[in-house]
Structures are given as C-alpha cells and as structure tokens.
Amino acid sequence: MGFLNGKTAVVTGSTSGIGLACARSFAGAGANIVINGMGAPGDIEKERAAIERDFTVRAIYSPADMTKPSEIAELIALGEETFGSVDILVNNAGIQHVSPIEDFPAEKWDAIIAINLSASFHAIRAAVPGMKTRGWGRIITTASAHSLVASPFKSAYVAAKHGIAGLTKTVALELARSKITCNCISPGYVWTPLVEKQIPNTMAARRMRRDEVINDVLLAAQPTKEFVTVEQVASLALFLCSDNAAQITGANLSMDGGWTVA
C-alpha cells in the first residue's frame, strides 16, 4: 500500500507528457486518478486502462474543456462523486504559440491565458472547499522556467506562467492553516513526444542538424545541456504530496538544468 492509498488525484492535461507521468506516479503510490486531456479516444482509453492494470487503482477520464469554467467545475465534481474526494489537484494543461507581439493573434493570447492560467484558478476554486472540509489537500501547478524569466515571442505564455507563480503564492497564504499546500514546479525544456515531433520542423526551417537544434536551440538556455524528463517532474510532484513536504507551500520549485540560476 502506498502513502496515497485512498486518496484521489485530478490531473489536467494528463493524456500524455508530464501530466500522464504525474498520474502514473500518484497511482503507483495508491491514489485513484482522474485524467483529462486531448487525444484519440483509443489512445486515451489505452492509457487509462494501463493505469488501472499497472497499479491496481481506479482511473477515469474526463474530456472537460479547460477553457470553460463550467466544465472545469464538473471535472472536480466528477472526482468527488466517483471517489468521494479530490485530495490532490495537478494543474498541468497548457498550450503554446510563438509570435512577435505585433503579430500575435488575439485569439491565441486568449486561449493561452485561459488554459495556462485561468483554468488553474477555476480548478483550485472548485477543489478547495472539499479539501478544507477534509482538512488535507495538495495543489500543484506546472509552471515553467518562464515563470521566472522571459523569452522573445512568447508574450502570452510568459505572462501566464508568471501569473501561475503569483496565484500559487496567494493561494498558499490563504490556505496556510488548512493543511493544504499549494506549490508550482517550473521545469526547463522537458523531453516529451511534442518536443520530439517539433524537431524535424525546426531542422527544416533553420537548416540545422538534429544535434544542433537540440543543443543550440532547445537547450541553449540550460547549462546542463540535458532535457528534464517527465519522470523527474512527476517525482517532485509526488514528493510534494508526502508528509515530508508538509511545510513546503507557496514555493516555485525550479527544475531547469540551471537556466534561471543567474
């Protein structure tokens, strides 16, 4: 039996990448899981079933749209109605668009702010009452090195991630006496299937070799010249749910290969 046995974790954006790694990590510690995200129905069902098979817990899927507050509230309600509680909330859903500010499409700005920032507010707002009633909770949000530093052409993403850092601190202060912690994790570049798919396009656009794209573009800001792995992010998220992390709250925890050291 794991230390999360009997608890429930809702993880947004968890059909692949960091979110899926977090869901599997929590399931390995005994938690029931609510996954959420986009993808082909068959692929999503495969991952959901694998969580149940591999860890002998229950896992359900919600197709909630993270741009819609009512569906976010329904996501939290689904976890509470199915399992009796939502004890852990991981806000991980996110999208990206890169463009100069004068050309940045307004609809892209709105979508990035909605999914990368506002969705976390709505999910926290829906989950906190139940956590308060039970006297325990863990709220973890995937931020980014861009919650601490900026990069050109990422105005919406940087604004959203800076907002996550501020939201985390505010919620932590409000809940400090409630046995509920609120933290965010700020990875640098993480090796995910999406990153792998983007490499050939970057190679073609910049006329660079694969190793040049990886080292001189993707990992340019990370002194270790190594990608963060989804398993490393998930391990930190799992630690934040443990009793040993009970006094860690309001923290923005960097995992970026030294990107934001200076």
Q: Which residues are catalytic?
A: 157
- Cα dihedral across residues 21, 26, 32, 33: positive or negative: negative
**Burial of residue 26 (number of CB atoms within 10 Å: 0-12, 13-18, 19+):** buried
- DSSP-derived letter for residue 101 is G
Alpha helices in 138-245 (DSSP H): 155-174, 193-206, 210-212, 230-240
Q: How far apart are CA 245 and CA 88, in angstroms?
A: 14
Q: How far apart are CA 154 and CA 157, in angstroms?
A: 5
Residue in this structure with the two tokens 């996954």, named with its chain if needed: 35
- DSSP-derived letter for residue 92 is -
Q: How far apart are CA 220 and CA 100, in angstroms?
A: 20
> In what helix (H) or strand (E) does residue 132 lie, and over which residues does it extend?
helix 119-134
Residue in this structure with the two tokens 């926290």, named with its chain if needed: 124
188: helix, coil or strand? coil
Q: Which residues contact 225 (CB under 8 A, 6 or more apart)?
A: 215, 219, 257
